[in-house]
Amino acid sequence: MLARRARLLGPAYRLFYQEPLHLVRGEGVWLVDAHGRRYLDAYNNVAAVGHCHPHVVAAIARQAATLNTHTRYLHDGILDYAERLLGTMPAALGHLMLTCTGSEANDLALRIAAAHTGGNGLVITRFAYHGVTAALAEASPSLGTQVRLGSHVRTVPAPDPRLPPEQVGPAFARRVRAAIAELQASGLRPAALLVDTVFSSDGILTDPPGFLAEAVDAMRAAGGLFIADEVQPGLGRTGEAMWGFLRHGVVPDLVTMGKPMGNGHPLAGVAVRPEVMAAFGSQCRYFNTFGGNPVAVAAGMAVLDVIEGEGLMANALRVGAYLRARLDDLARLHPAIGDVRGAGLFTGVELLGTDAARAPDGAAAARVVNAMRRRGVLVSSAGEHGNVLKIRPPLVFGEAHADLLVEALAAALEA
Amino acid sequence: MLARRARLLGPAYRLFYQEPLHLVRGEGVWLVDAHGRRYLDAYNNVAAVGHCHPHVVAAIARQAATLNTHTRYLHDGILDYAERLLGTMPAALGHLMLTCTGSEANDLALRIAAAHTGGNGLVITRFAYHGVTAALAEASPSLGTQVRLGSHVRTVPAPDPRLPPEQVGPAFARRVRAAIAELQASGLRPAALLVDTVFSSDGILTDPPGFLAEAVDAMRAAGGLFIADEVQPGLGRTGEAMWGFLRHGVVPDLVTMGKPMGNGHPLAGVAVRPEVMAAFGSQCRYFNTFGGNPVAVAAGMAVLDVIEGEGLMANALRVGAYLRARLDDLARLHPAIGDVRGAGLFTGVELLGTDAARAPDGAAAARVVNAMRRRGVLVSSAGEHGNVLKIRPPLVFGEAHADLLVEALAAALEA
C-alpha cells in the first residue's frame, strides 16, 4: 500500500506514525484497522461527536437522497443552520458564509478583511497553521521554512505559558504591537490579527482565559481586525464555551470554523460582523459550489443536535479536567513532563529534556507518540519543537477512555 | 425567505432568476419546488449522473456509516479511486491529489506550477472563471472589474468562433504568445497557461477540436506549463472524450477537476505529471482534512460506476448532437440566435440583436433564461456579454428532455 500510495498520490502526502495505520472502520472513540485491532482515538477532532455517529450518518443519507443542490436556489436548510449556528455566538456576528474547508474559510476571511481595511498586513504566531491555499500557505509558518511567508505577514512568538498568568496577555500584546509597528514601517496597512484561539499548532496555549483581549485591542487600535480561527478550538471543544474566543471575553470581527462542523462531511464557514462584510459584499459576489449545500448543512445540524442532546460540552469540561488531573499525577512521576495544559478536551503535554537545561524534546515526543500508537492509543504532537503531545479526542471521550490514555502514556514514558 | 437570507448570509450571495426557486427535492433531471412544481434541470452539471442517484447515495451512506477519516491513515478507497480516475487519462498524468473543491484544485495547481517553473506568470482568457480563493479571484476576470486581477496575470481574448475553423488555433496561439511576451517584458517568468478546455464562462467555445494545441506549445516553449481546468468540461460531459483536453489532442501538465466528481459530494482534485510534481513535493507537504476522505472517494467511485454502467458518455454524445440539431432548426426560425455550439451535453446558444449590427444581446439572454424558468426549464447564461445560453444538464438528459427544452426556448423566444 505504501508503494501504491507513493506512485498514485505522489510525494506531498504524509502518513502518521512510523508504522502507518490502515483503518477500515470507526465507531465512537474507536478506530479499527484491517487486522481487526481497535485503537483509542485521542486525536481526531473532526469526528467530534464520535466516528460514524448514527444521527449524523442518517441525516446525510436522508438529505443526499432528497436534494443536493447549491446556494443559488432558496433552501430552508442553510437558513435554519445559519440561524442556529450564529445563535451560539455574540449577536454582533450576524452573517454566516459557508465553505467546504477551513482553508477556504480562512482564505475568504482574509479577502473580507482586506476589502474592509484596505490593507493586507497580517499578524500571526510563529508556528501558526491556517490552511493550505496559496494565500494561507504564506501565513502558515508551521508548513516549514521552504514555504515562504508573505511579505505582508509578520509573526509573533506564541503566548508564553511560563510567565505568571497576569503577564501572559500584556507580554503577548507587546509582541503584537511590535509586529504592527513593523508592518507600518514597511508601508503595510494592518488588516488583521489572525490566531487560533487555543494556539493548537503553537503547542496548545489556553491560559489564563482572557489573555487575548489586550492584543485584540492593539490590532483594532491600528485599524485592523481580529479573526478568530476556531477550526480547532470551536464547537464546544474547550468545554467552557462553544467557541475559543468566548473564553477570552472578546468578540471577533470574523470567526472561521471547519473541522468538526460536519463530523467529517466537508463543512466550514465564516461568521462575520455585517459592517465588516459590507465592503466585500459590495465589490464581489461569493459562490462556493458545494459550500453550504443541503447535505452539508444537514450534517451540520445533526452535529449540533448531538452536541446539545448528548451534553458533549459538559462532557468535554468534565472529562478534560479529569484527564489533566491524571496527567498532573503522571507528571509528578515523570520529570520528562514539563507542563500539562489545555481546556476541555484539548490537552497539551509538554515533554522536556530531564537534564538541567530542560530543553524542548521533540524526539522524545515522537517516540512517545509512536509508542502509544503501538499500545493502541492515537495522539500526535504539536509546537515549534514538536515536543507537545496533542490530545484532542472526539467529544464523546469518557473517563474510562482517559484512563486508558494515561496508562498508555505512562507505559510509553517508562519505555 | 429572501429577507431571512439577506439577514443571515449577507450581501455576497446571489440567487438565480428574477423569481428565485425554492427547491425541496431532486430526481434524475428533475428538480421540484416547495409547491410541488417540477423543473427540467438543463443547467446543473454537478448532479452529473442525475439528482440523488441511488447508487451514489447508497455509496455515501454506506461509507459514512463505516469510516470517515483522512489521508494520514492508509485506506484502500483513495488508492482504488486514484488508480481508476488516472486510468481515464494519458499515462503521463501519474499522480492524483484530492481536494474538496475545484477552487482548491486550481489553487493547488498554481502552487505546483510555481514550484516547478520558479515563476508565477499566468495566461488566462478574458472572461475566465477559475475559482474563489484569493489566488484564483486574481485570475477570474468574470468576477467583475471590482475584483482586481493579479499583477502576474495576463488575459487573452477567448478563441473566436467566427473565424474559419483552421484559423481558430493559430489566432488563439498568437494572442497567447503576445501575452507571454508581455509577462516577460514585465520581468515575470511564465508559469502556466490556464484554461477551461471548453471555455465555459467565455461563452462555450469547443471547435474545432485540436485548436488548443498550438497555444499549449507556445506556453511550453516559454518554459511554462499547461493547466487544463476540467471542472466544467470533465468527466464525460463532452461525450467525445472523458476530458475536454483529450478533444484537443494535448496532454496537460496538470489537470484540475471538480464539480461532477461526487455528484454533489465535495470532491475535486489535481492530476499531475510526476516530474512536474517533484519540486512542490520536495518543498512542501500537502494535507487537506476532508480531501479524498473515504466517503468522498466512495462517492467518486460510484459516479464512475454510473457513468460507465449507464453509458452516459455515449448518451451525452447522442443527446447533445440531437439537441444541437434541433436548436439549429430553431435558429432558422429565430434570427436572434447567432450561433449554436458545443460538445456532448454542453451547449451554448448565442443571442444577438436582430438589426444589422448583430451585437451580443445579454439582455435578451436574461429575458430568455427567466422566461424558460417560468416555463419550467432551468438554464443560465455565460460569456463576457452574458448573451450565450448555457445548457449543461445532468448526463442522464434524454431526447425527450431535449424536446422539452427546445419547446420552452421556442416559446421564450416568441414571447
Q: What value does the mean pLDDT take over residues B97-111?
A: 98
- Whether the ipTM is more than 0.95: the answer is yes
For the record, the C-alpha cell of A26 comes out as 470507526
Query: Residue B140, Cβ neighbours under 10 Å: how many?
Result: 23
The pLDDT assigned to B37 comes to 98
Same-domain check for residues B229 and B366: no
Which of A73, A287, A381 is most worth mutating to test chain B (most B CB atoms within 10 A of its CB)?
A: A73
Same domain, A402 and A272: no
The 10s digit of each residue's pLDDT in A165-215 is 999 999 999 999 999 999 999 999 999 999 999 999 999 999 999 999 999
Last residue of a domain, one of A261, A279, A309: A309
pLDDT at res. B151: 97
Q: How sure is the predictor about B263, in pLDDT bands with cuts at 50, 70 and 90?
A: very high
Give the sign of the dihedral formed by CA A96, CA A101, CA A106, CA A112.
Answer: negative
* Residue from B132, B293, B297 whose CB has the most chain A CBs within 10 Å, to mutate: B132
Assign B372 a pLDDT band (cuts: 50, 70, 90).
very high
Residues A296 and A336 reside in one and the same domain:
no
Mean pLDDT of B294-311: 98
Q: What is the mean pLDDT of chain A?
A: 98
Say if residue B244 is in the same domain as residue B384.
no
Could you say which of A12, A272, A282 has the minimum Cβ distance to residue B97? A12
- C-alpha span between A215 and A192 (Å, rounded): 11
B113 shares a domain with B71: yes
CATH number of the domain at B17, please: 3.90.1150.10
pTM here is: 0.98
Q: How does pLDDT run across A230-256, given as a tens digit for each residue?
A: 999 999 999 999 999 999 999 999 999
Q: What is the pLDDT of residues B198-219, one digit of tens each?
A: 999 999 999 999 999 999 999 9
Q: Which of A65, A132, A293 minimises the CB distance to B287?
A: A132
Please report residues of B whose CB lies closer than 8 A to that of A24.
Answer: 66-67, 75
Residue in A with minimal Cα distance to B5: A79
For residue B170, what are the domain limits?
55-309
Q: How far is A270 from chain B (nearest CA, A)?
A: 10
The single-letter code of the amino acid at B61 is A
pLDDT tier at B154 (50, 70, 90 boundaries)?
Answer: very high
Q: Are A108 and B103 in contact (CB under 8 A)?
A: no
Residue B193: what pLDDT?
98
**Maximum Cα interatomic distance, chain A, rounded to a whole number of Å:** 64
Helix (H, G, I), strand (E, B) or coil at B377: strand
| pLDDT tens digits, B35-63 | 999 999 999 999 999 999 999 999 999 99
Partners of residue B111 in chain A, C-beta under 8 Å:
134, 137
Q: Is the same domain home to B248 and B325?
A: no
Same domain, A65 and A41: no
**CB–CB contact B95 A64 (8 Å):** no
Confidence class for position B134, pLDDT limits 50, 70, 90: very high
Could you give the CA distance from residue A218 to residue B192 in angstroms, rounded to a whole number? 41
Order of strands across the sheet that contains A153-156 = A95-99, A268-272, A254-257, A225-229, A190-196, A121-125, A153-156
Q: What percentage of chain A has pLDDT greater than the value 90?
A: 99
Count of CB atoms within 10 A of residue B318's CB?
A: 16
Q: What's the whole-number mean pLDDT along residues A30-41?
A: 98
Whole-number pLDDT of residue A356: 95
Q: Which of A309, A338, A361 is the last residue of a domain?
A: A309
Contacts of B67 in chain A (CB under 8 A): 23-26, 31, 51-52
Q: Residues A140, A262: one domain?
A: yes
Same domain, B410 and B282: no
What is the tens place of the pLDDT at every residue in A330-357?
A: 999 999 999 999 999 999 999 999 999 9
Are B45 and B80 contained in the same domain?
no
Nearest to A380 by CA among A7, A18, A13: A18
In 3D space, the residue among A292, A97, A71, A273 whose CA is nearest the CA of residue B1 turns out to be: A71
Specify the 3-state DSSP secondary structure of A249.
coil
Output the pLDDT for position B131: 97
d(CA B124, CA B143): 14
Rounded to a whole number of angstroms, the distance from the CA of B319 to the nearest CA of chain A is: 23
pLDDT at B286: 95
User: In this structure, are B178 and B242 located in the same domain?
Assistant: yes
Question: Whole-number mean pLDDT of chain B?
Answer: 97
Count of the separate structural domains present in chain A = 2
Say whether both B137 and B278 belong to one domain: yes
Query: A13 and B96 in contact by Cβ < 8 A?
Result: no
User: What confidence category does residue B374 fall into, taking pLDDT thresholds of 50, 70 and 90?
Assistant: very high
Domain stops at, among A309, A325, A341: A309
| Domain harbouring B206, CATH code | 3.40.640.10
Q: Which residues of B touch A229 (CB under 8 A)?
A: none
Pairing, β A380-382 against β A388-391: antiparallel
- The per-residue pLDDT for B228 is 98
